[in-house]
Amino acid sequence: MPYPDFFDQVPRITLRDPLAELLGSATGGLLSYGYADAVRLAGHSCPTVAQAYWLCVRAVKALYGDEMPVRGNIQVSLRDPLEAGTTGVTASVLGLLTGAASGGGFAGLGGQFVRRGLLQFDADIETELRFTRTDTGQAVLAQGRAHSVPGDPQTMRLMQLCLSGQATDEQRTAFGQLWQARVRSILLDHAWDDAVFKIRPA
């Protein structure tokens, strides 16, 4: 799939999935995901998808340190209800990376590898997200502020022209480029900016 070059500059995340290992889906159960995978899932690249992807990468790193993260052993709690705003988009990306699923998720094999119920909404937490290791109970709280990263002032004017059907081909192209420039800034320029991606122990 052709996509902006910066997608490949965003660090990937590798996890071991015991279910994938058992079923022979991946050697050693190792699964690697990049930002482009989150874009394929969502069907688009935007600040919400970028924030969800990078918050998850940083939260998992905070939980596991130098250990190999275990996909399927991470409970993800979201403060907002599923129907609110872009919560569903965020949840989809988090589920892709961690294996956590809500009521329709995998029910397990012989009582093991259960993914159902690991993705929870309406959680009583003070931040947007909480990630919890199911083996140790260790948890981190995560809050994204991608909205604080400004885009080019022309972006909204061009968006309005595109949505109203009045944009020229050049204006549509310019809008897409400016939109992705902001996403790039969020993921690369502010990747380790704690004012944009805040992770702390629960």
Q: Is the pLDDT of residue 65 over 90?
A: yes
Angle 69-185-198 from CA coordinates, rounded to 5°: 45
SS3 for 102? coil
Q: Report pLDDT digits (tens) over 127-179.
A: 999 999 999 999 999 999 999 999 999 999 999 999 999 999 999 999 999 99
The pLDDT value recorded for residue 156 is 93
Average pLDDT rounded to a whole number, residues 46-65: 97
pLDDT confidence tier of residue 67, bands split at 50, 70 and 90: very high
The domains of the chain, with CATH numbers, are: 9-148+192-201 (3.30.1330)
Q: Is the pLDDT of residue 1 over 80?
A: no
pLDDT confidence tier of residue 110, bands split at 50, 70 and 90: confident
Residue 128 near residue 147, CB atoms below 8 Å:
no
The pLDDT value recorded for residue 106 is 85
The pLDDT value recorded for residue 113 is 82
Mean pLDDT of the chain: 95
The pLDDT value recorded for residue 137 is 96
- Spatial distance between the Cα atoms of 159 and 167, rounded to a whole number of angstroms: 9
Q: What's the whole-model pTM score?
A: 0.94
Alpha helices in 13-118 (DSSP H): 18-22, 35-42, 47-64, 87-98
Of 136, 126, 142, 51, nearest to 92 (Cα)?
51
pLDDT confidence tier of residue 107, bands split at 50, 70 and 90: confident
Residue 39 near residue 92, CB atoms below 8 Å:
no
pLDDT confidence tier of residue 126, bands split at 50, 70 and 90: very high
